Amino acid sequence: MQFQQTLKKNYSFEGKGLHTGKFAKMTVCPAPENTGIVFIRTDVGTEATVPALAENVSSTARSTTIAQNGVSVSTIEHILSALTGMGVDNAIIEIDNIEVPILDGSAKPYIDAIWADGFVQQNEPRHYIEIKETVEVINEEVGSIVRIEPAEEFSYDIKVDFNSRVLGVQHAVWNPSVVYAEEIGICRTFVFFHEIEFLFNNGLVKGGDVDNAIVIVEHPVTEQQINRMSALFNIPALSVREDGYLSNLQLRFQNECSRHKLLDLIGDLRLCGGFLKAKVTAEKAGHGINTTAAKAVRKQQ
């Protein structure tokens, strides 16, 4: 029997939010058995809690936001993914602003802080989410699908296809043979160069920079565009690498982008309320379809 686990101590993180650009301090704390994962907006008050459950999803515009009683927390997917991948059942997450810090764009800072310390085993058995009937969510307009099937152990398989000459078609998997902390959690978010100005103009990625996102240059760009991007990020001498990525980064894996999409999927599906004991298959997945699938699973419980 697998027992629940929590953290050994508090861990604090701080930085700007990817989309709002707002600075936040966040502390991930141990929690009693059967707490699950609960956010507290300390800037609002000690009672301003938002449980990390699918029915609380309020937005999936480029990230996942949850809300309850008028209190919101956004871009929660990376910390939820990290806690799931590291096997943490119960945690209280205190945050003093609306958006979780983006940090390096992956779950690596959480792993680096928490993983080496180990965890506290608790007295209650782990709550596994078992699937009674297959859940399948399809978005025919974009060709995306998330399928969650009954299984004896968990497995995640994701296919990423942006019709991109740079990315190509990428796959990534997570199952008991894959060490999340070494092979998935360290993979960073990404964005296409041609999307960035649009996102900025629409009030998103205000906290984005090349330290927390992989930038993919899909189409030919001019020197003027590169200079504008350098000024936007306040980084001199940006250029485009031969493989189609913006300079001043090294990929952690050749398929880092699909591994990050898997990271997101794991975080979004933690909103089912526990650890999925299921076979998860996804194609062209994003926060909207991920959280819709999590809601469907919640309705089975």
Asked if 248 and 210 touch (Cβ cutoff 8 Å), the reply is yes
CB-based contacts of 152, cutoff 8 Å, min separation 6: 277
Is residue 287 among the annotated active site residues? yes
Secondary structure string (H, E, C) spanning the chain: CCEEEEECCCEEEEEEECCCCCEEEEEEEECCCCCCEEEEECCCCCCCEEECCHHHEEECCCCCEEEECCEEEECCHHHHHHHHHCCCCEEEEEECCCECECCCCCCHHHHHHHHHHCEEEEEEECCEEECCCCEEEEECCCCEEEEEEECCCCEEEEEEECCCCCCCEEEEEECCCCCHHHHCCCCCCEEEHHHHHHHHHCCCCCCCCCCCCEEECCCCCCHHHHHHHHHHHCCCCCCECCCCEECCCCCCCCCHHHHHHHHHHHHHHHHHCCEEEEEEEEECCCHHHHHHHHHHHHHHC
Catalytic, out of 19, 78, 260, 287: 287
Burial 151-169 (b: 16+ CB within 10 A, else e): eeebbbbbbbebeeebbee
Catalytic residues: 287
